[in-house]
Amino acid sequence: MTCGPKKNVSVEGRKKKEIFFTSIIIQSKYVGFYYMPIYTNTRLEKVFKLELLKLLKGKSCFHIKNLDDQLEHQINEALQIGYELYQSRGWI
């Protein structure tokens, strides 16, 4: 996915210069996958399938120790849904 031109966004009536989407952090025993769309729409929790939900630590961080095809597919689905959510709100 590519990003368009930078622009200010409005989140709950507040103007922001940036809004986070996802990030990863490489740790010694796992890769942390942070999925920020969950903070803007808690119904997205229903998007995650059981295999991915088992890795959820807190509200938005997944600790991934072994990535297989099924898990990768679930992550890609979640990314697409989050991208479409941000796009529908005019944030991208």
What residues does each domain of the chain span? Answer: 20-88
Phi, psi torsion values for 26, nearest 5 degrees: -95, 120
- Does an H or E element contain 16, and which? strand 14-16
How does pLDDT run along the chain (92 residues), one tens digit per residue? 445 556 666 666 777 777 788 999 999 999 999 999 988 887 877 888 889 989 999 889 999 999 999 999 999 999 999 999 989 988 88
Contact (CB, 8 A) for 35 and 41: no
Give whole-number Cα distances, 69 to 42, 46, 74, 76, 91, in Å.
Answer: 26, 20, 9, 10, 30
CA gap 84, 68 in Å, rounded = 24
